[in-house]
């Protein structure tokens, strides 16, 4: 008859030491695998002020999201094919440094933009060449007035300082300078607003700030993006445009898991018929409408353009570009 030799159990304190080494290793492995399986272009950081969140991505300055107010009903929204949808693109020349500021602006462009928003009532407003306070305290109230009681939000992305990329480029008044989005969310929509943002890997040489992009995914209704591409090199500007449309936006849609319409509006410093041609960055499944100069809207084909027209602006060197569509 064979005998089995008993193996002594390790002491209790030894078992605890083994467990202390193994468990964290397993957790780290699981976290690493999860990170590979799900990558967001930008991850929310801590809340920096009541109702304001920051979103950081890469080496550039962080974006901010705030202002979500208004009543939201609990029932799901009814499908409304053909519902009207409008966007207004504005470049306000409000850094205080550009020559257009002294020539036509002198601090008056924000009030003019406020009037345009309350008159036209666009669901999305994309803003270029603005200071942070222009978005937060100057123009977000215009959306509250245009859509009383509805959830509206603001998002702001500073351009990057050329010397220290993580530092915001600043307006003459000291405020961070960059791009912004104002938006209305259908009160019956479920879900929130997510922010995606980044610093372009392609940058032109020269004295200007480092260029950035900003997108929001709004309550499973739409994705809206804005950018202000470099003026220093058209060859770099077209590469920035292609990077946003062909790399960042597909990554955003995959991260959100949504196929809702996408609208990109901004001062692209490129023209239709130019060399390079702005239409060279429009992917398959998108269409484009521009103002004949550098203001453009590029959207997925499920946004059917109904009207596009210039909106006169006296206190900036760019007229507004207003586009209405059907969802």
pLDDT at 11 over 80: no
pLDDT digits (tens, 9 = 90+) for 238-267: 999 999 999 999 999 999 888 899 999 999
277: tokens are 């041609």
Domain that residue 106 falls in: 44-326
Q: Is 20 inside any structural domain?
A: no
What pLDDT is attached to residue 283?
Answer: 97
Residue 1 counted as domain residue:
no
Residue 218: is its pLDDT beyond 50? yes
Question: Which of the four pLDDT bands, split at 50, 70 and 90, describes residue 69?
Answer: low
- Residue 279 within a domain: yes
Mean pLDDT lowest for which of 79-83, 198-202, 281-285, 301-305?
Answer: 79-83
Q: Would the pLDDT of 310 be above 60?
A: yes
Domain CATH number, residue 219: 3.60.10.10
Higher per-residue confidence, 133 vs 69: 133
The answer to whether residue 6 is domain-embedded is no
Tokens read off for 275: 């060399």
Per-residue confidence (pLDDT) for residue 259, from 0 to 100 = 86
Among the ranges 26-30, 58-62, 65-69, which has the highest mean pLDDT value? 58-62
What is the domain count for the chain?
A: 1
Classify strands 177-184 and 124-131 as parallel, antiparallel or unpaired.
antiparallel
Written in H, E and C, the secondary structure of the chain is CCCCCCCCCCCHHHHHHHHHHHHHHHHHHHHHHHHHHCCCCCEEEEEEECCEEEEECCCCCCEEEEEEECCCCCCCCCCCCCCEEEEEEEECCCCCCCHHHHHHHCCCHHHHHHHHHHHHCCCEEEEEEEEHHHHHHHHHHHHHHHCCCCCEEEEEEECECCCCCCCECECCCCCEEEEEEEEECCCCCCCCEEEEEEECCCCCCCCCCECEEEEEEECCCEEEEEEECCCCCHHHHHHHHHHHHHHHHHHHHHHHCCCCCEEEEEECCCECCCCCEHHHHCCCCEEEEECCCCEEEEEECCCEEEEEEEECCCCCCCCEEEEEEEC
Least confident of 11-15, 66-70, 178-182: 11-15
Please report the pLDDT score of residue 306 as a whole number: 92
Percent of the chain with pLDDT over 70: 80
pLDDT at residue 19, as a whole number: 43
Q: Which residue has the tokens 């300055």?
A: 61
Averaged over 5-24, what is the pLDDT?
41
pLDDT at residue 1, as a whole number? 42
- CA dist 276 and 129 (Å) reads 23
- Asked if the model's pLDDT at residue 16 lies above 70, the reply is no
**Is residue 180 scored above 60 in pLDDT?**
yes
Does residue 8 register a pLDDT over 80? Answer: no
pLDDT at 5 > cutoff 80: no
CA angle, 115 as apex, 110 and 116 as ends, to 5°? 95
Of 22 and 290, more confident: 290
CB count within 10 Å of CB 208 equals: 17
Q: According to the model, what pLDDT value does residue 208 have?
A: 81
Q: What is the mean pLDDT of the chain?
A: 85
Domain-embedded: residue 30: no
Tell me how far apart the alpha carbons of residues 46 and 139 are, in angstroms, rounded to a whole number: 25
Evaluate whether residue 167 is within a structural domain. yes
Are the C-beta atoms of 142 and 112 separated by less than 8 Å? no
pLDDT higher than 50, residue 289: yes
- Please state whether beta strands 84-91 and 152-158 pair in parallel, antiparallel, or not at all (unpaired): unpaired
Residue 37 lies in a domain: no
């Amino acid at each position: 008859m064979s005998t089995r030799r008993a193996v002594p159990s390790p002491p209790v304190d030894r078992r605890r030491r083994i467990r202390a080494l193994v468990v964290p290793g397993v957790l780290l492995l699981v976290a690493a695998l999860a990170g590979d399986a799900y990558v967001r272009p930008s991850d929310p950081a801590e809340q920096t002020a009541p109702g304001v969140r920051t979103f950081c991505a890469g080496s550039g300055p962080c974006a901010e999201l705030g202002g979500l107010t208004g009543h939201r009903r609990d029932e799901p929204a009814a499908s409304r094919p053909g519902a009207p949808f409008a966007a207004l693109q504005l470049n306000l020349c409000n850094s205080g440094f550009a020559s257009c500021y002294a020539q036509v602006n002198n601090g008056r462009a924000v009030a003019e933009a406020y009037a345009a928003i309350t008159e036209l009532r666009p669901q999305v407003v994309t803003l270029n060449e603005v200071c942070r306070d222009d978005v937060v305290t100057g123009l977000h109230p215009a959306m509250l007035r245009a859509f009383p009681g509805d959830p509206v939000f603001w998002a702001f992305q500073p351009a990057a300082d050329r010397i220290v990329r993580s530092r915001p480029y600043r307006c003459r008044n000291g405020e961070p300078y960059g791009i912004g989005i104002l938006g209305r969310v259908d009160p019956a929509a479920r879900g929130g607003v997510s922010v995606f943002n980044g610093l372009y890997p392609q940058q032109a040489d020269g004295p200007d700030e480092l260029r950035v992009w900003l997108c929001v995914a709004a309550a499973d209704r739409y994705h809206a993006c804005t950018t202000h591409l470099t003026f220093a090199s058209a060859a770099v500007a077209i590469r920035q445009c292609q990077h946003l449309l062909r790399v960042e936006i597909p990554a955003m849609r995959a991260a959100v898991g949504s196929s809702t319409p996408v609208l990109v509006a901004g001062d692209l410093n490129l023209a239709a018929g130019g060399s390079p041609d702005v239409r060279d960055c429009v992917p398959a499944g998108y269409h484009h409408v521009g103002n004949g100069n550098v203001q453009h809207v590029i959207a997925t084909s499920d946004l059917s353009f109904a009207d596009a027209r210039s909106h006169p602006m006296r206190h900036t060197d760019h007229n507004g570009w207003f586009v209405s569509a059907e969802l």
